[in-house]
């Protein structure tokens, strides 16, 4: 039987510039049928973005495994709304309207999303109309019932956290509805990318979400390399994986401690904080920067590993092997801590599947998708590792996924260090082309799969670059997971999701 | 848990020796702080961190200041949950237009005397994000800044150097502080100290 995606791809007009997965231009009818495929669960939405003339949608067909992009050309600025039948696309379509002015016909929610009316320009990447006078109020979605009250939190939060607004509607202590308002950290990265050379664009990509700087730079590099048809030296691919796993280790260790800290259990927080610091020091010893910013570049890595760095990483693995089991044991056997995490903030597997949630959010709710396995990009095709999956969907499950992934990442790092091939670490790409080139890539960051799509012009500059954070499909699920929980449990639920504000807002 | 606690008693602490206040931030401080109203805060300094649109890289390193290697509180510096409790605003990011009002409000909610420390390269002038329609172009474009700590992101050690410099300069000028104790600064963000 031919899959829903294969049928779409076969009936569209193929765009030859796009690599490695096909992109086709389809009719509005075919676009609607793709939306139906999403709505009935045959397809999963991987990304939805646009340029000033067309809207693009990356789709996943899980069985058999297929990926492709369909595009529909806007007619007088209109295109058929996907979110009219598939809710996960709502905020993406609101964003496309904010930035490009393309109107999703059929979407009921007309509110802006990233545009707070403060940019001085409307549709900055589209027709660029002058902005209307500022409207201060933003209508949150209503909740009906007796004795409801609202709690407004943010954008400036109490901790050292990124800015965003949470509007709770509560009945007593129980949360009836939570709605986010994001966009506070919108920096216009997509507009800054336009016309940038590969170096600058790579640095911008690496600052989309600082905690995932390696993953973003990697996704961007993969997309560029796909577009230009570059093969990078094997050693570079292995060093990239080493960095990516160090980044995953650092973030998961930080989150494991932080979730416990939100249950006022500070000992695990302190110990995990120390381990995280040791990861960052090993990273600095190996690659010269604690977060390894700008280390991954199109064509390879910016510099080889510092020879003494590998020793530091080995020492780190010994320290993690010594400390982590004790902390995990403590977590598992402290009833007062378990009481806070178990059955708190449950995300139902059906929702995780519908939203195509990646990372620990998806994997704690039964969705096993991991870009390292699904796309098997080098060197993960040669490495042995498991993708842990649980079904409970609560804070506890998200903690356990992280714990298991820390173990897996440590094992991966050991394999990488043992088998690191010799040779060059960078192939400097010749970006100038006879024609426009497009590339698409998926990379597994610590939070989940990051999508990067680039269009490179003949001069070798970025014509357009779209970066989709895993948080796009996780933030809305936090709203669902908190429902019926008490407000006091929001911080621990929020931390267990740890969505990126900057990665989402860009 | 008992075993971990016992180990804590016999193991060497991981906490680092304190760094000396860096020469560059100190110089910048001297020029900004030696003038105008300056009052004694006492030794204890409370910091309110404000992310004004950073990529969250700076937040990671500011967070690290609280880990047991750096242990910020031993210097009498601590992070507080409200600007109303703060002496120092530690501001990161290029200040996005969507965060501008929130930053102004946070600044106005912070009681005098107060200092603003801008953290990270993009907090200086927008950095890599300068020129975007969505960015104001640095913290000083919105509120007066007393000290810049550069870096992308600055390491915890660089952050510590900068913050210690703030403390030291505050202590070395006690007489002037006492004299000007009651001089109040005009309210509102329009009031520049320069």
Along the 194 residues of chain B, how does pLDDT read in single tens digits?
Answer: 778 888 888 887 788 877 766 655 555 554 444 443 344 455 568 899 999 999 999 999 999 999 999 888 887 788 999 999 999 999 999 999 999 999 999 999 999 889 999 999 999 999 999 999 999 989 999 999 999 999 999 999 899 888 888 777 766 654 454 454 444 444 444 433 33
Q: pLDDT band at residue A1, thresholds of 50, 70 and 90?
A: low
- Both tokens of residue A268? 């695990």
Q: At what angle do helices A490-497 and A395-419 cross, to 10 degrees?
A: 30
- Both tokens of residue A62? 């899980």
pLDDT, residue A345, reads 96
List, in sequence order, every beta strand (DSSP E) within B52-167. 77-79, 88-92, 115-119, 147-149
Three-state DSSP at B165 gives: helix
Rounded to two decimals, the pTM is 0.92
Place of tokens 């010893």: A285
Q: Summarize pLDDT for A89-139 with one digit per residue, the tens.
A: 999 999 999 999 999 999 989 999 999 999 999 999 998 888 888 877 899
Three-state DSSP at B127 gives: helix
pLDDT, residue A124, reads 96
* Contacts with A, B 7-26, CB within 8 Å: 14
Domains, chain A, with CATH or none:
4-107+119-125 (3.30.460.80), 194-470 (1.10.645.10)
For B49, the closest of A160, A213, A334 (CB atoms) is: A160
What is the arithmetic mean of pLDDT over A316-322? 97
pLDDT, residue B187, reads 43
From its phi and psi, is residue A398 left (phi > 0), alpha (psi between -120 and 50) or beta?
alpha
Interchain CB distance below 8 Å, B128 and A192: yes
- pLDDT, greater one: A431 or A376: A376
C-alpha to C-alpha distance for B126 and B137, rounded to whole angstroms: 4
List, in sequence order, every beta strand (DSSP E) within B124-192. 147-149
Greatest alpha-carbon pair distance for chain B in Å reads 56
C-alpha to C-alpha distance for A327 and A268, rounded to whole angstroms: 6
Cα atoms found within 13 Å of the Cα of residue B121, Cβ hemisphere only: 11
Residues of B in Cβ contact (< 8 Å) with A159: 79, 81
pLDDT, residue B65, reads 93
- Both tokens of residue A143? 């909740």
C-alpha to C-alpha distance for A197 and A454, rounded to whole angstroms: 12
Please report the sign of the dihedral spanned by the C-alpha atoms of residue A143, residue A149, residue A152, residue A158: negative
For residue A167, pLDDT beyond 50: yes
Mean pLDDT of chain A: 95
> Minimal Cα–Cα distance from A326 to chain B, Å?
8
Q: Which residues contact A61 (CB under 8 A, 6 or more apart)?
A: A3, A4, A5, A6, A42, A43, A44, A67
C-alpha to C-alpha distance for A481 and A361, rounded to whole angstroms: 11
Share of chain A above pLDDT 90, in %: 92
pLDDT, residue A4, reads 85
Q: Which of B109, B10, B8 is nearest to B50 (CA)?
A: B109
Cα atoms found within 13 Å of the Cα of residue A438, Cβ hemisphere only: 16
Q: At what angle do helices A266-287 and B57-64 cross, to 10 degrees?
A: 120
C-alpha to C-alpha distance for A174 and A170, rounded to whole angstroms: 5
What is the arithmetic mean of pLDDT over A468-474? 97
C-alpha to C-alpha distance for A20 and A453, rounded to whole angstroms: 11
Q: Please check whether residue B6 touches A, CB under 8 A.
A: no
Chain-centroid distance of CA A332 in Å reads 29
* Contacts with B, A 270-299, CB within 8 Å: 270-271, 273-274, 276-277, 280, 290-291, 293
| ipTM for the whole complex | 0.94
Q: pLDDT band at residue A152, thresholds of 50, 70 and 90?
A: very high
Instruction: Tell me the CA distances in angstroms from A248 to A360, A405, B64, one per residue in order.
Output: 11, 8, 17
C-alpha to C-alpha distance for B163 and B73, rounded to whole angstroms: 12
pLDDT, residue B179, reads 52
C-alpha to C-alpha distance for A463 and B128, rounded to whole angstroms: 18
For B134, the closest of A156, A186, A207 (CB atoms) is: A186
* Contacts with B, A 100-129, CB within 8 Å: 114, 116, 118-121, 124
pLDDT, residue B8, reads 80
Phi, psi of A337 (to 5 degrees): -80, -45
């Amino acid at each position: 039987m031919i899959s829903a995606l294969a049928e779409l791809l076969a009936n569209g007009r193929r765009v030859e510039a796009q690599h490695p997965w096909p992109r086709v231009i389809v009719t509005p009818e075919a676009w609607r049928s793709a939306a139906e495929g999403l709505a009935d669960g045959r397809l999963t939405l991987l990304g939805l973005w646009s340029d000033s003339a067309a809207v693009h949608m990356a789709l996943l067909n899980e069985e058999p495994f297929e990926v492709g992009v369909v595009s529909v050309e806007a007619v007088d600025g209109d295109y058929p709304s996907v979110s009219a039948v598939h809710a996960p696309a709502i905020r993406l379509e609101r964003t496309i309207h904010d930035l490009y002015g393309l109107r999703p016909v059929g979407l009921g929610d007309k509110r802006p999303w990233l545009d707070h009316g403060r940019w001085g320009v409307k549709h900055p990447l589209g027709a660029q109309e002058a902005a209307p006078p500022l409207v201060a109020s933003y209508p949150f979605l209503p909740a009906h019932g007796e004795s409801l009250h609202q709690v407004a939190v943010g954008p400036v939060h109490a901790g050292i956290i990124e800015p965003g607004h949470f509007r709770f509607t509560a009945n007593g202590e129980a949360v009836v509805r939570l709605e986010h308002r994001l966009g506070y950290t919108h920096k216009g990265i997509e507009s800054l990318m336009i016309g940038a050379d590969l170096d600058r664009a790579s640095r911008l990509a690496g600052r989309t979400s600082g905690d995932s700087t390696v993953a973003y730079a990697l996704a961007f590099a993969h997309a560029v390399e796909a577009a230009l048809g570059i093969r990078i030296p094997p050693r570079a691919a292995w060093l990239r994986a080493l960095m990516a796993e160090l980044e995953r280790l650092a973030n998961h260790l930080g989150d494991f401690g932080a979730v416990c800290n939100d249950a006022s259990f500070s000992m695990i927080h302190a110990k995990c904080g120390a381990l995280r610091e040791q990861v960052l020091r090993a990273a600095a010893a190996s690659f010269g920067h604690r977060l390894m910013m700008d280390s991954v570049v199109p064509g390879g890595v910016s510099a080889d590993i510092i020879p003494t760095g590998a020793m530091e990483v080995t020492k780190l693995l010994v320290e993690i092997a010594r400390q982590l089991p004790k902390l995990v044991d403590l977590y598992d056997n402290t009833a007062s801590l378990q009481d806070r995490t178990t059955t708190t903030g449950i995300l139902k597997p059906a929702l995780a599947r519908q939203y195509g949630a990646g990372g620990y959010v998806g994997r704690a709710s039964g969705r096993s998708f991991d870009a390292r396995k699904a796309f098997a990009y080098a060197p993960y095709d040669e490495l042995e590792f498991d993708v842990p999956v649980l079904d409970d969907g609560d804070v506890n499950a998200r903690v356990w996924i992280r714990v298991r992934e820390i173990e897996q990442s440590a094992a991966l790092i050991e394999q990488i260090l043992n088998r690191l091939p010799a040779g060059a670490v960078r192939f400097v790409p010749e970006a100038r082309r006879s024609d426009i080139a497009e590339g698409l890539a998926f990379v597994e960051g610590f939070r989940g799969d990051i999508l990067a799509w680039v269009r490179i012009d003949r001069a070798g500059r970025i014509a357009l670059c779209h970066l989709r954070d895993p948080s796009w499909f996780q933030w809305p699920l936090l709203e669902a997971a908190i429902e019926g929980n008490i407000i006091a449990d929001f911080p621990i639920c929020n931390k267990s999701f740890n969505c990126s504000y900057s990665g989402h807002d860009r | 848990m008992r075993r971990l606690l016992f180990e804590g008693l016999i193991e060497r602490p991981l906490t680092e020796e304190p760094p000396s206040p860096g020469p560059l931030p100190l110089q910048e401080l001297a020029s900004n702080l030696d003038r105008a109203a300056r009052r004694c805060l006492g030794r204890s300094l409370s910091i309110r961190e404000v992310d004004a649109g950073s990529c969250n890289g700076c937040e990671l390193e500011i967070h690290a200041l609280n880990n047991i290697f750096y242990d910020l509180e031993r210097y009498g510096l601590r992070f507080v949950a409200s600007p109303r409790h703060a002496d120092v605003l530690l501001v990161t990011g290029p200040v996005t237009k969507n965060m501008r009002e929130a930053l102004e409000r946070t600044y106005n909610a912070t009681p005098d005397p107060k200092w603003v420390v801008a953290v990270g390269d993009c907090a200086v002038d927008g950095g890599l994000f300068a020129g975007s329609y969505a960015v104001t172009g640095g913290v000083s474009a919105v509120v007066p800044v007393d000290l810049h700590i550069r870096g992308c992101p600055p390491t915890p050690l660089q952050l510590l150097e900068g913050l210690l410099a703030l403390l030291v300069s505050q202590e070395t000028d006690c007489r002037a502080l006492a004299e000007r104790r009651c001089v109040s600064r005009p309210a509102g963000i329009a009031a520049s100290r320069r």
